[in-house]
Amino acid sequence: MEYEFNNTIDNEMFIYDIENECILPKEEIYKTNNNQETKDEARESLIQPKSILYKVKDNDDITMIIIKTIVILFIISFVLPFIIIDLYIGYTDKTCVNIYPDKLKISLSIYLKVNSYILLFILSIYISFIYKKIQLFAYNEIIRTIFGLFIYISRIIMFGWNVLGAIIFWGYIAEKGNCSVVIYNYLYATFIIKLLIIIVLISNTKNNMKDN
């Protein structure tokens, strides 16, 4: 009877661990299982926030793509009509844009064509920057400074080119009165708009260079 009683106690208090080939107290087995469950729960708690972060990051990327697309569409809808109309007038008009001022070998036709192609080039570069096809900030500070100077100088050149076109128009073509009413009004308005925009862009670039 004593043997059976002790055997019963042994069965209740001890368990044979097959993996480690030893006899362990039940309390030790329970502690081991509890620790393993705690580790599993901790691992799941670490994995779950990461998945949430990835989802948030994906949503942020989609939002940024939508915003960039809206910005691009706005820029294209604003700039592209001017480019198309300028090219159309430069290549087709026969009333006044092909007249050369005295002692100046540049006509309004040449001005309109060159200005349109420059705007197309700038527009393509700007779109590339917005969609990060060209990642300027991946390079060092010297390259960014050189690029900033390039943007500043190119805008000054564009300002001078538009001033030249305005001088040709207001100083010579408008006085002759050879342009049609539609072309005259269009050129008059666009020269004012272009000069104002370029002045704002030059001022903005200059302020950004000072801040940097």
Comparing CA positions, the residue from 63, 85, 114, 64 lying closest to residue 186 is: 85
What one-character-per-residue DSSP string does 41-62 give? HHHHHHHHHHHHHHHHHHHHHH
- Report the predicted TM-score, pTM, of the whole model to 2 decimal places: 0.64
Query: How does pLDDT run across 48-102, given as a tens digit for each residue?
Result: 454 554 455 556 667 777 887 888 888 888 889 999 999 999 999 888 888 888 8
| Torsion sign, CA atoms 124, 126, 130, 136 | positive
Q: How far is CA 107 from CA 91, 102, 159, in A?
A: 12, 10, 17
Query: How does pLDDT run across 142-182, given as a tens digit for each residue?
Result: 767 777 787 788 888 888 999 999 999 988 888 776 788 89
Burial class (CB in 10 A: 0-12, 13-18, 19+), 120: middle
